[in-house]
Amino acid sequence: KNQVEQSPQSLIILEGKNCTLQCNYTVSPFSNLRWYKQDTGRGPVSLTIMTFSENTKSNGRYTATLDADTKQSSLHITASQLSDSASYICVVSAGNDMRFGAGTRLTVKP
Amino acid sequence: NAGVTQTPKFRILKIGQSMTLQCTQDMNHNYMYWYRQDPGMGLKLIYYSVGAGITDKGEVPNGYNVSRSTTEDFPLRLELAAPSQTSVYFCASRNLAGTATYEQYFGPGTRLTVT
């Protein structure tokens, strides 16, 4: 069954600290993996997209990694800011079939 | 470009009522999607369309209908609202890019409560 599991469910960190969010998947055949940021009350916004051949992709303070062998991805946030408070969603595609994780709710406190 | 717009932002329905959630995109995208997002769950695909006049079911289509008469608009219809349809609904669109890294754009969502 095509599944996407994210951990932790929620995370609280202090402003300026780094954090890493995890995504494990069983989706097959793999096409690409995306990380989205979803602010409260808004639609998801794309952060990174990685294909099978890419093992790291950065977007400013966000760095995503992909291990296609172990079917794991992580999203590392550096020097967190209050505006990073949001849900982060991992999405894995098999062709046109996109499977969404439940997300990690990140709260950055001053 | 306004991107993907959805109306209304919020709606409360009584059981058995019907309504249409509107979705419009001004990016000339061929592909459009409707998702629902329940608390603690990932987005689930309700219906999608690959172009005007073509629609297909997603993972959770029961209780919903769609139409795609133009490239820009993709309304979602609830005929007999049920409490199980209480959710946040997102419309999304993307272009026909042939690569695996196409960009998908989401609307701001419609929060629907059925009581």
Q: Do B106 and A31 touch (CB under 8 A)?
A: no
**Distance to chain A for B85, nearest Cα, Å:** 18
Q: What confidence score (pLDDT) does residue A95 get?
A: 77
**By C-alpha distance, which of B75, B63, B83 is closest to B107?**
B75
Q: What confidence score (pLDDT) does residue B37 get?
A: 96
Q: Do A4 and B45 touch (CB under 8 A)?
A: no
Helix, strand, coil percentages in chain A from 3-state DSSP, rounded to 5: 5, 60, 40
What whole-number distance in Å separates Cα of residue B85 and Cα of residue B87? 6
User: Residue A94's pLDDT band (boundaries 50, 70, 90)?
Assistant: confident
Q: Is A100 on the interface with B (CB under 8 A)?
A: yes
Q: What confidence score (pLDDT) does residue B24 get?
A: 98
Residue A108: CB atoms within 10 A of its CB come to 20
CA B32 to chain centre: 8
Q: What is the DSSP string of A70-101?
A: TTEEEEEE-S--GGG-EEEEEEEEETTEEEE-
pLDDT in tens, B23-43: 999 999 999 999 999 988 899
**Which strand ranges, in their side-by-side order, compose the sheet holding A62-67?**
A4-7, A19-25, A72-77, A62-67, A56-59
